[in-house]
Amino acid sequence: MKSDWSIDTKLIHTAHVPDERTGAISQPVVPAVAYAFPDAETAAAVVSGCKPGDYYGRYGNPTTRILEQKVAELEGGEDSIGLASGMAAISSALLAFLQHGDHVLVTKDVYGGTYSFLTSLAPRFGISFDFVDCTDLTVLAKSIKAETKAIYIETPSNPCLTVLDIQAIAHIAKANSIPLIVDNTFMTPYLQKPIDLGADVVVHSATKYLNGHGDVLAGFVVGKKKHIEFIRKKIAGDLGQNLNAWESFLILRGLKTLGVRVQKHCSSAQLIAAFLQQHPFIEHVYYPGLESHPQHHLARTQMKGMGGIISFEVKGGLQAGAAFINRLKLAMISFSLGDPETLVQHPASMTHFSIPQEDRLKYGITDGLIRLSVGLEDPGDIISDLNQALGTTRDAKFLRRIKAKL
């Protein structure tokens, strides 16, 4: 592999060669469950790991393997494993380092699915946890216990877009011989490289930007080969979390356009965030690209772009927020993000509903908070839709003034 290739080139060419038999440029889809061997000795060697190869669909697939190699290269990890969903990736990464009696520190504002796993399933494995403010490094360091075996963060966080200092947190983790796991879903390796900043493991919901077209459920864990092989053989394989060949093919196809898609998401989001910040009916806007964001300067040093997610609070709380999203005509109400379509959702009643209201408010998830996944439509059309849903009129001069500032 050409180490000096830019990421735009790597997105297309990493781990990709034309099919040996047909010369086809597109990656072949191999929907096989099982694989034949020339003799019993070869079968035994593959199963034991002494010889490379696939032997059963739960433990590997040729199409998926190409994708895993590409994702590992993009993130700067030794290896990666593709799984059936983002939650499969998150749960597998945590279970790779945690067992009965262990403890994990988790950033306080975290994806609702992660919160649900930790509060409902982890205790059944005898795993304890604490949610801490990871923007305060002193608090984080003091929260480490003798039984703490992992630190788990997502940055920017979902949905309040808190940016955490990966390098500083990695330093604390390494000083205590604790692995740092980072959810990089919002950024993708195009905008942020946690392993380069000291993280040990990266997880993704590939359902989102990596695939980018709203037609795949998938997840990835990236890290050292020994950790990935443990997940493959002892967690994902045994629990049946494997990613199938067709969805792997779709992600391989989606990755080829990740660069141009992410650039468009970012440029449009910056414009829309500026519009919302100046709107009289908006209480607060959370977007790392705005100077008003508390970690704006950290974001500029740690991230190559500010992403396509904006969260904001509509004045008037829950009722005003619900009325706003119900009036949208272009943006669609949906749980997901990172699609070509602009998607909007209400975290308190949707993605973070599993978090009790008292905890939601503690983590900044108010009843009036809205999360917007900026799509690939013309940003002017998105702004017009947001504007009419807010029940106000803004003339063309106003929009031109915003664009001129960016």
Query: What does the alpha-carbon distance between residue 177 and residue 180 come to, in Å, rounded to a whole number?
Result: 10
CB atoms within 10 A of CB 330: 17
Q: Tell me: pLDDT of 24 over 80.
A: yes
Six-digit token pair at 208?
């989102």
* Per-residue confidence (pLDDT) for residue 392, from 0 to 100: 64
* pLDDT given at position 143: 98
Choosing from 70, 102, 111, 115, the catalytic residue is: 111
Q: Is 167 exposed, middle or buried (0-12, 13-18, 19+ CB in 10 A)?
A: middle
Q: At residue 294, what is the residue type?
A: P
Instruction: Check if 111 is active-site.
Output: yes
Point out the catalytic residue in the list 58, 253, 362, 394: 58
Per-residue pLDDT, 317 = 84
What the block records as the tokens of 211 is 């695939």
- pLDDT, residue 326, reads 93
Look at 302 and 349; give whichever has higher pLDDT: 302
pLDDT exceeds cutoff 50 at 406: no
**b or e along 226-245 (b: 16 or more beta carbons within 10 Å of the residue's beta carbon)?**
ebbebbbeebbbebebbbbb
Tell me the C-alpha distance between 279 and 371, whole Å.
16
pLDDT digits (tens, 9 = 90+) for 241-263: 999 999 999 999 999 999 999 99
Q: Which pLDDT belongs to residue 318? A: 82
Which has the closest alpha carbon to 390: 368, 375, 367, 365? 368
Each residue of 66-77: pLDDT tens digit? 999 999 999 999
- Does the annotation mark 51 as catalytic? no
174 given a catalytic annotation: no
Overall average pLDDT of the 174-191 stretch: 98
Name the catalytic one among 70, 108, 149, 208.
208
The pLDDT, as a whole number, for residue 401 is: 59
User: What string of DSSP letters covers 121-190?
Assistant: IGGGGT-EEEEE-TT-HHHHHHT--TTEEEEEEESS-TTT-----HHHHHHHHHHTT--EEEE-TTTHHH
Please write the tens of the pLDDT for every residue from 38-65. 999 999 999 988 999 999 999 999 999 9
Chain-centroid distance of CA 320 in Å reads 29
Q: What is the largest CA-CA distance in the chain?
A: 75
303: helix, strand or coil: coil
- Which has the higher per-residue pLDDT, 26 or 264? 264
289 in Cβ contact with 157 (< 8 Å): no
Lowest mean pLDDT among 204-213, 307-316, 356-365: 356-365
In the block, residue with structure tokens 């356009």: 257
Give the model's pLDDT for residue 350.
73
Please give the pLDDT value at position 295.
98
Would you say 151 and 131 are in contact if contact means Cβ atoms under 8 Å apart?
no
pLDDT of 305 reads: 98
Q: How much is the pLDDT for 1? A: 45
Q: How far is CA 47 from CA 71, 93, 161, in A?
A: 24, 23, 43
- Kindly list the structural domains of the chain, giving each domain's residue range(s) and its CATH number in brackets, ordered by start: 7-30+61-255 (3.40.640.10), 259-405 (3.90.1150.10)
Of 99-108, 213-222, 254-263, 310-319, which range is least confident?
310-319
pLDDT surpassing 60 at residue 80: yes
Q: Please say if 190 is a catalytic residue.
A: no
108-135 pLDDT tens trace: 988 989 999 999 999 999 999 999 999 9
Q: What is the per-residue pLDDT for 366?
A: 77
Name the token pair of 120: 């409902």
Q: What is the mean pLDDT of residues 19-25?
A: 89
The gap from C-alpha 260 to its chain's centroid, in whole angstroms, comes to 18
Preceding omega of 194 cis (within 30 degrees of 0): no
Comparing C-alpha atoms, which of 129, 119, 114, 214 is closest to residue 159?
A: 114
Average pLDDT score over the chain: 93
Average confidence (pLDDT) over 87-92: 98
CA 101 to mean position of chain CA atoms:
28
Catalytic site residue from 79, 109, 183, 200: 183
Tokens, residue 38: 């020339």
Beta-carbon contacts of 195 under 8 Å, excluding residues fewer than 6 positions away, are 75, 76, 77, 202, 222, 223
**Residue 322 — pLDDT band, cuts 50, 70, 90?**
confident
- Alpha-carbon torsion, ordered 114, 342, 295, 362, to 10 deg: -50
**CA–CA distance, 134 with 380 (Å, rounded to integer):** 36
Helix, coil or strand: residue 17 = coil
For residues 301-319, average pLDDT: 94
pLDDT at 399: 53
